[in-house]
Amino acid sequence: MNRLALNNIFARRSIRRYTDESVSEEQVKTLLEAAMAAPSASDRRPWHFIVVRERATLDALAERHPYAKMLFAAPLCIVPCADPAISDAWWVQDCSAATENLLLAATALGLGAVWVGVYPRTARVQAVREVLGIPESIVPLCLIPIGHPAERKQPRTRYDAARVHREGW
C-alpha cells in the first residue's frame, strides 16, 4: 500500500506563521491546478481564485478580517470564490473540496497554509469583496494565507471511534 497520500493528509496542519521566503509562481500554479482537480457537482466548477501577493492588499485583508492577522506576515493569499449562478445548490461543497485540495497540495510542496472562513458571515464577505473588488454576483468562501512555514507541527489523526456509526445512527 502506498501511504504517501495518507501521510500528506495527516501532515496537513493549520500553519499561521511564515518566513520571508516568497512562494514561486510555479508553486502557485501547482496549488491552483490541485484546487481545480477537485470534484464538482455535475462538473459545473463554479470556482474562481484570486491570487494576492501585494503587501498592501494582504495587509488590508488582515485589517478587515478578525481572524486573518497572519496575513500581515504571509507572502501569499489565495481566495477561493464562487459564482452561485453556475451551481447554486452545490457551490459551497465544490469550493470547499477545491480548498481542501489546495491545502493538501501546499503541504505536499512543503508550504504552510490555513483556512480562514469568510462565507457565510455577511460582514466578512462584504469586507473581502470591498478589498478585492469582487462583484456582488461572486461569493468569497475563504482566505488561504500561504507561505514557507516558520512553525512545525507534528502529523496527527483526529480519529474518534465515538463519532463512528455503522448501518445507521
Residue 141 has pLDDT above 70, yes or no: yes
With cell 500500500, the residue in question is 1
**pLDDT band of 64, cuts 50, 70, 90:** very high
Residue 71 has pLDDT above 90, yes or no: yes
State pLDDT tens for residues 78-92: 999 999 999 988 999
Diameter over CA atoms, the chain:
53
State pLDDT tens for residues 96-128: 999 999 999 999 999 999 999 999 999 999 999
With cell 512553525, the residue in question is 151
Residue 164 has pLDDT above 90, yes or no: yes
Q: What is the pTM of this model?
A: 0.96
Q: Quick one: pLDDT at residue 1? A: 66
Q: What domains sit in the chain, N to C, each tagged with a CATH number? A: 16-151 (3.40.109.10)
Q: Percentage of the chain with pLDDT > 70?
A: 99
Q: Quick one: pLDDT at residue 88? A: 85
**pLDDT band of 2, cuts 50, 70, 90:** confident
**CA distance readout (Å), 14 to 10, 20, 71, 80, 114:** 12, 18, 13, 17, 5
Can you read off the three cell numbers belonging to residue 121? 458571515
